[in-house]
Amino acid sequence: MERITRHDLKTPLNAIIGFPRIMMMDDNLPAEYLEYLKMIEKSGMMMLDMINLSLDMFRMERKIYQFEPVQVNVPQVIRRIMNDMEPLAMAKKLSVKILINGKPAGNEEGFSVRGEGLLCYSMLANLIKNALEASPQGEQITIELADGENMSAIRIHNRDVVPEDVRDRFFDKYVTSGKKSGTGLGTYSARLIAETQKGSIHLETSEKKGTTVTVRLPIWTAEECQRTATRAGLSALPFGLHTESERKDRSFVTPDRLNALPEELLATLKTAAERTDPKGSNMAIDHIREHDKPLADSLSELVRTYRFDIIQELFEKTG
């Protein structure tokens, strides 16, 4: 099964993802065609993530998954999820409120946990999608992020109530209720991912209060933030460099190396980073790789984990 998913399914995706990127470089493309190419590329990336995650879930179930924690900026992950799920929210006329320690989330996004970017995205996407699908028309979904002493809490609330017959088995495999196309794997995978990241997940539901799913994950300490930032040759950043630098050398990501690149590449990457645009960033990084492969690999990892704040900090240092 692993051979099939890694080779037979992944190989065709090289063309599905790669060729749209090449075609989008054509300045003469009509806007409508450009949107089609973006849709193809996005679908290919989603399929690639699904394949990778299916392999990871297999390993998690067998307790052989190699967990390599990094600093994950939760608000950025949530914004990416909400962007992907905007059609669902609009169709039901739902609003989403994000709170950080009781206050409305702004652009500071100062809330990080110790985990893995793709795992956090998949876990929260499943839980947020459940909340959107279950919520009554025109209601509000609340996502509250709260700091703790050792663990941070992520609470997702909607006004619906979980049926009594599935409450005790809400996070078990294949348990579903009221969904014609439901597989019963969404909440199960969320629990598996939370526990793999050394966290926990909990359900509270009642007719009076609605439903709240709480995920608790380890905090990212100030010491880890300072240590990894120092290793990368940067000042202490608002949210720090993640500890993936322990396995991928972040010394390549420096203002001097950026300044050595052609100006047009710098401008493209800067614009994409300011827009937190992973597609645009990766297109620029593909060209950067022709000039400085180690730098491109490190930048690519920052984009993969949605650490656009670090790239923006680097540009501030380039002058």
Condensed to tens digits (0 to 9), the pLDDT of residues 182-193 reads 556 789 999 999
Chain mean pLDDT for the chain: 81
Which pLDDT belongs to residue 144? Answer: 95
- 155 with 130, same domain? yes
> CA-to-CA distance for 85 and 105, rounded, in angstroms?
19
Last residue of a domain, one of 179, 200, 218: 218
Query: Among residues of the chain, what percentage have pLDDT more than 90?
Result: 27
Shared domain for 150 and 243, answered yes or no, is: no
CATH number at residue 96: 3.30.565.10
More confident residue, 11 or 224: 11
Residue 264 lies in domain: 222-318
Q: Are residues 265 and 157 in the same domain?
A: no
Same domain for 80 and 51: no
DSSP designation for 171: T
Examine the domain organization and report whether 75 and 208 are in the same domain.
Answer: yes
Q: Where residue 238 falls among pLDDT bands split at 50, 70, 90?
A: very low
Give per-residue pLDDT as tens, 109-165: 578 899 988 889 889 999 999 999 999 999 999 999 999 888 999 999 999 999 887
Q: How far apart are CA 98 and CA 134, in angstroms?
A: 18
Residue 115's H or E segment, with its range, is strand 112-115
* 75 plus 156 within the same structural domain: yes
272 burial (CB, 10 Å; 0-12 / 13-18 / 19+) is buried
Assess whether 50 and 133 both reside in one domain. no
Pick the last residue of a domain from 22, 40, 61.
61
Number of domains in the chain: 3
Of 194, 218, 242, which residue sits at a domain end?
Answer: 218
| 82 shares a domain with 181 | yes
Would you state the pLDDT for residue 236? Answer: 37
Give the global pTM: 0.63
Is residue 89 located within the same domain as residue 172? yes
Q: Given pLDDT bands bounded at 50, 70 and 90, which one contains residue 245? A: very low
Which range in 25-34, 136-145, 163-172, 308-317 is most confidently predicted, on average pLDDT? 136-145
Determine the pLDDT at residue 113: 92
- Determine whether 206 is exposed, middle or buried from the number of CB atoms within 10 Å of its CB (0-12, 13-18, 19+): exposed
Greater confidence, 157 or 299?
Answer: 157
In terms of C-beta density within 10 A (0-12 exposed, 13-18 middle, 19 or more buried), how is residue 213 classed? Answer: buried
Q: Is there a single domain that holds both residue 212 and residue 228?
A: no
What's the pLDDT score for residue 202? 96
Task: Verify that 50 and 130 share a domain, yes or no.
Answer: no
Q: Are residues 25 and 149 located together in one domain of the fold?
A: no
Question: DSSP label at 236?
Answer: P
